Structure 1
């Protein structure tokens, strides 16, 4: 099976293994990827770690993991093997490293999908970590400052716990794929966008992603395949609201028009 098929099978579980799923995302970009090598690297990083302070010291002082502020939109920042090799990433990919090394060391951590800036948290506490900033600890006021800086939100936008919800594994994976979707849309070619969109749709039905996948297939001269994909999605759903159905039918007809 290719990486997309393996990813689809893995994420059929309600809470798939984060490390394996993140590596399958990377395998979409590099089909020759050996996941075992990188699972062993996560094991190595966890060896001898017995507390949260020791974990933070290992990752951010001894190993030198850091946020890639100078080239934030480099796709390698979202691909786990590159993050482990280069010791640089964006907030969500560095969070995956921190969470998975912590899990191996018996230190539970969870992702926090704050708008604009992904964080890590010790479950059941208000102790948040900014892994993009060397694992800096943030209280609620610190989280709010990060939120307003990242989003540009003014004082009229209320900040509170509703913006600091735990991110499930599926939500983390969706956010990683959305980052890659944006990067490859800006420059990467339709073949790269195709595997990203197929993985994205395996996590959640999304009309916009479905139409975009059809368009990406059309860009590769596969108009019939794109139309059949949309038709199959519509056939497999008993309830689709009329406006959505109309938009998808139009997208399918537009693709088929290229075959005439």
Structure 2
């Protein structure tokens, strides 16, 4: 798969409805877009093996146990505790090789495998730490893909929410803390992680690519173009930064004021 082919997949995903969003294939396309010199088949094989194992386990185990044992036990997927900020942790192809990653990158595999096996599992855009929500006969449960898919108790959710800075009246509302996120939002969160880590490392070309992928996945959002403009400006590509800021202004009138000010500042540098 070339970078251009990856962009075509992400463009199609951006046009798809939330019900039809191709999470795993879009995540693979993101990884190839970042580094085309790799084979995407390992990720597909890992996901396929997960579907086979989970299908077998669901005959004799509860949904939450079967999912955790399949992904963390059989496939050996876990959080990277030793090198958390490694950019490989936000790349589903690298995760397939290393079997370690960020919660949201691991969550891509959990969500794909669970969906193929008929389980109702959704991402939870929890502050500071991505979680999963699985529907069970006893009600919804929160799972932590970073901690081998273990169940997170309601009291622990509240504690984490308070630690993340949520107010007590919000932190005690499980309906808010466990609100499901669409799979498009899961992949956007993953690309945000790539952007943040690349920007921190001052790897501006990689940061720009992550911003452009966000723009393809969610073409109505102005914010990826603001991020792309910042990455381009950091590389000295002022004309490209100006073009990105113009796109941001066109997409969202509410952002136009900030984007216009930033655009004028860049234009002054071009003159």
Name the TM tier (shorter chain). 0.7 to 0.9
**C-alpha spacing 1:248/1:48, structure 2 compared with 1 (3 Å):** closer
CA contact (8 A) 2:226 2:248 kept: no
Q: Which of the two has greater helix per residue?
A: 2
What is the TM-score with the length of structure 1 in the denominator?
Answer: 0.86
> Is 1:217 the counterpart of 2:228 in the alignment?
no
Distance in 1, matches of 2:262 and 2:140, equals: 46
In the alignment, structure 1 segments of 5+ residues that lack a partner are none
> Is 1:249 the counterpart of 2:263 in the alignment?
no
> Is 1:228 the counterpart of 2:243 in the alignment?
yes
Distance in 1, matches of 2:256 and 2:75, equals: 51
Matches for 1:67-106 after TM superposition, within 5 Å: 67-106=79-118
In the alignment, structure 2 segments of 5+ residues that lack a partner are none
Alpha-carbon displacement from aligned partner over 1:228-251 (angstroms, at most 9, x marks no partner) = 2322443x45x714xx32322222
What is the TM-score with the length of structure 2 in the denominator?
Answer: 0.83
**C-alpha spacing 1:223/1:121, structure 2 compared with 1 (3 Å):** same
CA contact (8 A) 1:4 1:195 kept: no
- Structure 2 counterpart of 1:129: 143
CA contact (8 A) 2:104 2:186 kept: yes
SS at match of 2:151: strand
- Structure 2 counterpart of 1:240: 253
- Structure 2 counterpart of 1:7: 10
**C-alpha spacing 1:212/1:62, structure 2 compared with 1 (3 Å):** closer
Give the deviation of 1:207 after TM superposition.
4.9
> Is 1:176 the counterpart of 2:172 in the alignment?
no
Alpha-carbon displacement from aligned partner over 1:182-236 (angstroms, at most 9, x marks no partner) = 11110041110111111223316555543332232233332112212322443x4
> Is 1:145 the counterpart of 2:159 in the alignment?
yes
Distance in 1, matches of 2:146 and 2:36, equals: 28
